[in-house]
Amino acid sequence: MKAFRGEPSVYASARPEDKQAELEVKQLTLKFGGITALNKIDLSVHTGELVAVIGPNGAGKTSLLNCITGYYRHQEGQIFFNGDEITHRSTHHLTKLGIGRTYQNIELFPGMTVLSNMMLARHVHCNYNVGKASLFLKSVQREEVRHREILEELIDFLEMQSIRKQLVGSLPYGMRKRVELGRALALQPRLLILDEPFAGMTLEEKEDMVRFLLELNEAWDQTMVLVEHDMSVVMSISNRIAVLDFGVKIAEGTPDFVQNHPQVIKAYLGDTTTID
């Protein structure tokens, strides 16, 4: 794995088996009353891939992510992660298995600092109980130091040194998005799921986020599933793209294949003009 600026040692030293992230979604169907949000969706994600899921508004993209991460209970279909069926597992259990995510609407604690928000994500890796924590035993102290080292490395990587002690509520929207990415990474996820990470960002903030995601994928071998509306970003960073329209997968393939697919063009433009 190539070295790069601010490479956290916890990722650099991770064994290949600790990065395994094989996701398989089979015939997934989600209904809300008489409305079918997802209709027999198949999707596979392999270790080290950056897969994008795109589609017009209301296509079912976030619903798919919510099913994978346990927020929605779909009626039909199965979901497998690293060979184990995780259909209808709790979100807490999925987090422990190594599935982390960011949200379309930022889900941070505005009255807490950047560092405190990120520290909350480390709870899944804590090996001490409430009693030991209350006494603040030496074993707890050593573990706390290790958690802080990991967070500081992530803060350096995401270039957030200057805001590490600021309240999240005082930060501009684009920087909060960066903090949310940091919190998701603090989980040390095998599979990172990103729901519109570029929404509401300025051009400069988007360029920074693209740089971070590419380094995560190429240098850390971080497996990612990305939902995003900015087609220029999606086409430039994705290994593979799946397209949804009204809850149905209408295309899947490389960026070049997808952007020239007639059904994709029709879904976005309503005619046969090639997407620019």
Q: Is the pLDDT of residue 140 over 80?
A: no
**Using CA atoms, how far apart are residues 83 and 137, in angstroms rounded to an integer?**
38
Q: Quick check: is 206 in a domain?
A: yes
Q: Quick check: is 169 in a domain?
A: no
- pLDDT given for residue 10 in this prediction: 57
Contact status, residue 213 vs residue 102, Cβ threshold 8 Å? no
**Using CA atoms, how far apart are residues 154 and 85, in angstroms rounded to an integer?**
31
Mean pLDDT confidence for 40-47: 97
Q: Quick check: is 42 in a domain?
A: yes
Q: Quick check: is 173 in a domain?
A: no
- pLDDT given for residue 155 in this prediction: 95
Each residue of 91-115: pLDDT tens digit? 989 999 999 999 988 889 999 999 9
- pLDDT given for residue 146 in this prediction: 82
Q: The tokens of 190 are what?
A: 């095998």
**Using CA atoms, how far apart are residues 177 and 171, in angstroms rounded to an integer?**
10
**Using CA atoms, how far apart are residues 151 and 126, in angstroms rounded to an integer?**
14
Q: Quick check: is 276 in a domain?
A: no
Q: Quick check: is 29 in a domain?
A: yes
Q: Quick check: is 218 in a domain?
A: yes
Each residue of 13-38: pLDDT tens digit? 567 778 899 999 999 999 998 899 99
**Using CA atoms, how far apart are residues 93 and 162, in angstroms rounded to an integer?**
34
- pLDDT given for residue 2 in this prediction: 41
Q: Quick check: is 37 in a domain?
A: yes
> Which residues, listed in sequence order, are joined to residue 25 by a DSSP beta bridge?
43, 79
Dihedral, 123, 162, 189, 148 alpha carbons, nearest 10:
-40
CATH of the domain at 242: 3.40.50.300
Q: The tokens of 3 are what?
A: 């070295």
pTM: 0.87
Each residue of 201-252: pLDDT tens digit? 999 999 999 999 999 999 889 999 999 999 999 999 999 999 999 999 999 9
In which domain, by residue range, is 222 found?
Answer: 9-112+190-269
Mean pLDDT confidence for 263-271: 81
- pLDDT given for residue 38 in this prediction: 97
- pLDDT given for residue 124 in this prediction: 78
With H, G, I as helix, E, B as strand and everything else as coil, classify residue 182. helix
For the ranges 9-23, 84-98, 131-145, which has the lowest average pLDDT?
131-145
Q: Is the pLDDT of residue 77 over 50?
A: yes
Q: Is the pLDDT of residue 3 over 70?
A: no
The domain tally of the chain equals: 1
